[in-house]
Amino acid sequence: MLKKLFCFFMTVIAVFFLGCKEENIEPKTNASFQNLVSDPWDDPSLWASSNDGSSKIELKKAEGVKGDAVLVEYSLSGEHGWAQWKHSLSPEKFPSHPISFIIKAEGFSDLEIKFLDSDQSTFGRKVSLKSYKDWTQVTIYLNNTDYWWGGDDKFDKPLDFYFAVSGKGNGKIMIDEIGYASEGAKASFPIAGVLLDPDRELPGIGFRQRRDSELIPEDTGVLEWLKTIQDVSSPDKAGLPSMESNEFQTFNNALVAMAFILKGERERAERILDFYSSATDRNNRCLRLQNFFYKGQARGFYQYVLLNDEGDKLAYHNPGVSDRWMGDMAWLLIACKYYEKTFHSQRYGELSGLLLNLLNEWYTDDNAGGVGYVRHGWREGDKRLHENGGHPEGNIDAYAAFLLCGEKDRAMKIRKWLDTALKGKSLPLDLYTWRVLAFGKESADVLNIPEYDLRYRKTLDINGRKVVGMFHGAEPEISNIWTDGTGHMAVAHILYGDRERGYFYSNQLDGMLFDRTINGNKLRALPYAANTKGGYDWVKFDRGFVSCAAWYIFAKNKFNPLMLEKVE
């Protein structure tokens, strides 16, 4: 998801980059610009740069639109790279004076504009560099940003101003005439903050109330689509590709295994779990092979590998810079525990033990004492081990996994760490929904943060009907629905929140179903998102996504995959 998130929260910077607010802005450009900055920071020597350890960034002097400018050349590593550059802030000037600059960019990464205070509270706004193909003047105040991470949600003594690029790819950014603008200069962005729906607490049943009295029965074509995809996508007929492609993802297959178990498809779940159980050769010496061990060392499973040979790249091998992420290990462990619980079988006892031991090996106590988290795991094709901190989304998964394995003390340390870490009302959606799925009814009120906020909740016309669903983050300008996230919301409400609201979101998923025919079989599938807005230009809308199908099945069967609970 995710989300985000590297003091403590500076440690999770690379992850929160994924979950913070991104805007689709159509900037106004003009050949002439206002003279807003009297003492510009246009010398590269005034800036200090840093990166994630693998990405590259270089600042140079160049000719801008008004004399000298800072040219930033960057190359991001992997799918979720980041690089940043900072300038100190003056308490005499900021926050009363906004920061203004003129920018032109070549690239498709995200630009983050951030303010950091003395206790490491980070406030920011994310935009797409695609918005700045032409010279554009930007003015930003503190109140145009949301609290992201670190410290607390109050901005105290100003410390640093940051630009950061995140995501993937490479590019160039020219920044000219940057510095403090005069008080009262017109802002380029709306004031940040929640957008409360006036109908948020409307009682009763109905579309405006976002409640249904009954749950629409499950469309059996969705399960049939999953079964067909498993049978036709590879010679082994074991793993499923995420989007009818050639990418075999561990997290998504853990979800599908649980969906198969839930629907009584034991043999199909075993095909998936058997693959991982057999990929535990301690003598493996191929670094790219999907195998738990490398030269005898426990490393875990890659997030994704190829499902079939692709040119000179082999099936079940890491094609590039896939991580071995702790969140995937937790979900796979949970799937094994669900099999054990359902079928009273220790078929995956050894695999469960390996996964649990690895999560314990990666666990560390936080300096605050009494709390801790599981560290990231191997990054970018095993180039390095861990980041300098914890990943909140993945540690929600680890909390649930430790509880299912009877390790309550360790789980509660993670729970305390999460309670300290997860602040604010602009977090990635799954940091609200998954908390409820992991912590249960006592945390159900957290659902109202995204539920009441129109930055998250969207209403779209899909397949000739209005559909309400959730987006992955607090994005006021983006009209899109994240199918997985809407499934999270449905399940969390059905089990622990407002059950009729959970029925409503589950029924909204039916509005996103589309017909899919494979080998003459008439099936039903769901896309990963409703449209391309907000960074989803990679989604293929004539193909289903397996995690969406799994969450649809969970919702229709009132099943929580994090606690392995089901209600009638």
Domain ranges of the chain: 9-180, 220-566
With 80 as the cut, is the pLDDT of residue 116 above it? yes
- What pLDDT score was predicted for residue 18? 37
For residue 109, report the phi and psi dihedrals to the nearest 5 degrees: -80, 180
The arithmetic mean of pLDDT across residues 517-544, rounded, is 96
The arithmetic mean of pLDDT across residues 347-375, rounded, is 95
CATH superfamily of 9-180: Galactose-binding lectin (2.60.120.430)
- Which has the higher per-residue pLDDT, 327 or 148? 327
d(CA 276, CA 274): 5
- What pLDDT score was predicted for residue 284? 98
- What pLDDT score was predicted for residue 202? 97
With 80 as the cut, is the pLDDT of residue 428 above it? yes
- What pLDDT score was predicted for residue 34? 87
3-state SS, one letter per residue, for 270-321: HHHHHHHHHCCCCCCCCCCECCCEECCEECCCCCEEECCCECCECCCECCCC
- Could you tell me if residue 436 is left (phi over 0), alpha (psi between -120 and 50 degrees) or otherwise beta? alpha
d(CA 426, CA 422): 10
With 60 as the cut, is the pLDDT of residue 23 above it? no
The arithmetic mean of pLDDT across residues 138-150, rounded, is 93
The mean-pLDDT minimum among 365-369, 373-377, 487-491 falls in 365-369
The confidence band for 559, taking pLDDT boundaries of 50, 70 and 90, is very high
The confidence band for 361, taking pLDDT boundaries of 50, 70 and 90, is very high
Task: For residue 221, give Cα distances in angstroms to 237, 279, 290, 348, 368.
Answer: 19, 31, 31, 29, 50
The arithmetic mean of pLDDT across residues 64-68, rounded, is 90
- What pLDDT score was predicted for residue 463? 86
With 90 as the cut, is the pLDDT of residue 278 above it? yes
The confidence band for 109, taking pLDDT boundaries of 50, 70 and 90, is confident
d(CA 428, CA 440): 19
- What pLDDT score was predicted for residue 438? 98
pLDDT over 90 percentage in the chain: 84
With 70 as the cut, is the pLDDT of residue 261 above it? yes
- What pLDDT score was predicted for residue 1? 44
The arithmetic mean of pLDDT across residues 213-235, rounded, is 98
Question: Taking the CB of residue 165, how many other CB atoms lie within 10 A of it?
Answer: 28
Q: What is the CATH number of domain 220-566?
A: 1.50.10.10
With 90 as the cut, is the pLDDT of residue 360 above it? yes
The confidence band for 316, taking pLDDT boundaries of 50, 70 and 90, is very high
pLDDT over 70 percentage in the chain: 94
The arithmetic mean of pLDDT across residues 359-379, rounded, is 92
Cβ(475)–Cβ(23) below 8 Å:
yes
Most confident of 138-152, 185-199, 205-219, 366-380: 205-219
Task: For residue 280, give Cα distances in angstroms to 85, 350, 356, 381, 402.
Answer: 42, 10, 14, 18, 21
With 60 as the cut, is the pLDDT of residue 19 above it? no
Cβ(331)–Cβ(251) below 8 Å:
yes
- Which has the higher per-residue pLDDT, 108 or 467? 467
The arithmetic mean of pLDDT across residues 182-198, rounded, is 93
With 90 as the cut, is the pLDDT of residue 105 above it? yes
Token digits for 508? 């909204």
- Which has the higher per-residue pLDDT, 251 or 9? 251
Which residue's structure tokens are 């990231």? 376
- What pLDDT score was predicted for residue 102? 97
For residue 566, report the phi and psi dihedrals to the nearest 5 degrees: -140, 140
- What pLDDT score was predicted for residue 5? 38
Average pLDDT of the chain is 93
- What pLDDT score was predicted for residue 7? 39
Closest CA to 397 of 223, 232, 563: 563
The confidence band for 21, taking pLDDT boundaries of 50, 70 and 90, is very low
Question: Taking the CB of residue 277, how many other CB atoms lie within 10 A of it?
Answer: 18
DSSP-based three-state secondary structure for 236: coil
The confidence band for 8, taking pLDDT boundaries of 50, 70 and 90, is very low
d(CA 249, CA 251): 6
